[in-house]
Amino acid sequence: MICRGFVVLEREMNSSFPRAIRSTISPSSLVFKRPKPPFFAALSRSISVSSMPTSPNPQIPLFLRPPKFSSTLSDLQKWQEWAKSIALSVGSKFVDIDNGPDTILLCRELKWLLEDAVEDKSTVPELGSAKNGRLVRLKADIEELYVLWKQRIEERRPFQYIVGCEHWRDLILSVQEGVLIPRPETELIVDLVGEVVLENKGLGDGIWADLGTGSGAIAIGIGRILGSGGKVIATDLSPVAASVAAYNVERYELQDKVEIRQGSWFEPLDDVKGALVGLVSNPPYIPSHLILGLQAEVGKHEPRLALDGGENGMDDLLHLCKGAALMLKPGGFFAFETNGEKQCEFLADFLTNKLETSFHNVKVVYDFAGIQRFVTGFHN
């Protein structure tokens, strides 16, 4: 893993959204057999730069790009076989190193990558029997597909960054480097909000805040269940996150319901102090010393700003708990995601006993895997 360098492929696609594909090349790339021509052609056209350009425009997920490219069915099949053989060669290696993905998961991802890359998904099953030169329209050059899958395996670049999106609840959210990939556990926050809104219609017509919105996942999920008077203000310190969240909000046509503001936690919310009916957040909560040991997809590729919660992981959660009483209206609801049992219990105790009479009905809620994951409650 020495002599790493960044490679930027010159791309002619997406003229309206100039972007670069990052790829690091390492000696281990030589381990994998692959059909030569397309891949080397890609490499020889590349130039080296040392850092990722900051993109003012968010990237478009693969599945939404125009099908400007084409390949024969048999060339695509060759790519698929090559990609599959690499995935198979991984075996349990990543699981052993850092509890990363296994072959089964990688093969499933390969299928999804293919589904996102072809114009017409129904061609995917035909691949197995493809012996012909029929052309398939693609959303990425086949050369790029080689590069992308190499990144997936050799660099452990997260699958969601490769395809530029994550399926979350019934949404497909654009994500890219610099923005946390929303987790399945977090889907539950939207259901918790749905539950309280059903029980108390007033909450559905007020102002909510989603702090540290990342891709905008929670804010968009909530925006879609609020009543006509309801609104969500979503904030993030990261400019990349703010622009990706704005892109996702627009894609779901929620500009009137979800407003993105850039800034640190409560700072951009001065004008709604004491006026919020709801406050939700999935702030960074991993204790700093655990960051190094994270699976490569997370630790090496997702933004530290989105993960690192300080010494015991609760720096941001405590800040949010302390501020919640000032921000929420009487009767307002809050829900925070946490690292698990320890943080849940600590925060529930803190909110119930250490802040005197500020909150009632403080609860700890389990996630789907049976882990205590959320703290919820109401402002008095």
Ligand X SMILES: C[S@@+](CC[C@H](N)C(=O)[O-])C[C@H]1O[C@@H](n2cnc3c(N)ncnc32)[C@H](O)[C@@H]1O
List contacts with ligand X (CB under 6 A): 180, 182, 186, 211-215, 217-218, 235-238, 241, 264-265, 282-284, 305-306
Q: Which listed option, ligand X, another protein, none, makes contact with residue 214 (CB within 5 to 8 Å by class)?
A: ligand X
Per CB under 8 A, the list member of 58, 230, 284, 332 interacting with another protein is 284
Q: Which listed option, another protein, ligand X, none, makes contact with residue 140 (CB within 5 to 8 Å by class)?
A: none
3-state SS record for the chain: CCCCCEEECCCCCCCCCCCCCEEECCHHHHHCCCCHHHHHHHHHCCEEECCCCCCCCCCCCHHHCCCCEEEEHHHHHHHHHHHHHHHHHHCCHHHHHHCCCCHHHHHHHHHHHHHHHECCHHHCHHHHHCCCCCEEEECCCHHHHHHHHHHHHHCCCCHHHHHCEEEECCEEEECCCCCCCCCHHHHHHHHHHHHHHHHCHHHHCCEEEEECCCCCHHHHHHHCCCCCCCEEEEEECCHHHHHHHHHHHHHCCCCCCEEEEECCCCHHHHHHCCCEEEEEECCCCECHHHCCCCCHHHHCCCCHHHHECCCCCCHHHHHHHHHHHHHEEEEEEEEEECCCHHHHHHHHHHHHHHCCCCEEEEEEEECCCCCEEEEEEEEC
Smallest separation (angstroms) from ligand X to the CB of 244:
9
Per CB under 8 A, the list member of 83, 142, 181, 244 interacting with another protein is 181
Specify the stretch interacting with another protein by CB under 8 A; choose among 47-55, 147-155, 260-268, 335-343.
Answer: 335-343
Per CB under 8 A, the list member of 247, 320, 372, 378 interacting with another protein is 372
In this complex, which beta carbon is closest to ligand X, that of residue 63 or of residue 265?
265
Smallest separation (angstroms) from another protein to the CB of 361:
8
Smallest separation (angstroms) from ligand X to the CB of 300:
16
Q: Which listed option, ligand X, another protein, none, makes contact with residue 286 (CB within 5 to 8 Å by class)?
A: another protein
Q: Does 70 bind another protein (CB under 8 A)?
A: no
Q: Does 241 bind another protein (CB under 8 A)?
A: no
In this complex, which beta carbon is closest to ligand X, that of residue 67 or of residue 299?
299
Smallest separation (angstroms) from another protein to the CB of 376:
9
Q: Which listed option, another protein, ligand X, none, makes contact with residue 40 (CB within 5 to 8 Å by class)?
A: none
Binding stretches for another protein (CB under 8 A): 99-101, 105, 108-109, 112, 158-160, 166-170, 180-181, 183-188, 190-192, 194-195, 198, 282, 284-286, 290, 294-295, 297-298, 302, 306-307, 337, 339-340, 345, 348-349, 352, 361-373
